[in-house]
Amino acid sequence: MLHILQHSPFHTDFESLLRCVKHGDELLLRQDAVIAALSGTKALDLLLAAPISIYALQEDIEARGLTAQISTGVGKVSYTDFVALTVKHEQHISW
């Protein structure tokens, strides 16, 4: 399943999100959710401990001036990659 998080980690129920993810799921951070990919944050620690792959939309990272602060544990993807992720997964959930 593809989970798409678009809200800031400060305005998201991370506990619910983490209860819903399963091994092999993927999470795309977009819009203000890219803040969750900042190195050294509690949100990132929680996400990295989950059995999922984590990606952040490059355009949203750049728009917020966060390129140098994004963890290397998070893949940076383009809009084309975003479309490929949606095609790859039959089920999507937006948070």
Asked if 69 and 61 touch (Cβ cutoff 8 Å), the reply is no
What's the average pLDDT block by block, 10 residues per block, for the chain (95 residues)? 95 90 96 96 94 98 97 97 96 94
**Amino acid 62: pLDDT:** 98
Starting from the edge strand earliest in sequence, which strands make up the sheet with 75-77, in order?
75-77, 53-57, 26-29, 2-5, 92-94
Query: 0.95 exceeded by the pTM?
Result: no
Query: Which amino acid is located at 74 in the chain?
Result: V
Q: Does domain 2-89 have CATH number 3.30.43.10?
A: no
pLDDT given for residue 43 in this prediction: 93
The residue extents of the domains of the chain are: 2-89
What pLDDT was estimated at residue 14?
83
